[in-house]
Amino acid sequence: MRCLNLRVPRGQSFLIFLSGLMLSVTPAKLGELLKSGLLKESYDIPLTTSAPIIFADRFTDFIALVLLTLFGVIGFGHGAGIVIVVSIVLVVIFAYLTSRRLSLATIRLLERLPGVGRARASSKRCTRA
pLDDT tens track for 53-110: 888 888 888 889 888 998 889 889 888 998 889 889 988 988 888 898 998 888 888 8
DSSP letter (8 states) at residue 30:
G
19 neighbors 13 (Cβ within 8 angstroms): no
Q: How far apart are CA 31 and CA 59, in angstroms?
A: 15
Pairs from 113-119 (Cβ < 8 Å, separation ≥ 24): 119/47, 119/48
Spell out the domain ranges in the chain.
10-119
The Cα-based distances of 111 to 30, 92, 119, 120, 124 in angstroms read: 23, 23, 9, 7, 17
DSSP, res 26: S
Give this prediction's pTM. 0.65
Q: What's residue 87's pLDDT?
A: 87
Distance CA 105, CA 16 (A): 33
pLDDT of residue 119: 59
Higher pLDDT, 34 or 4: 34
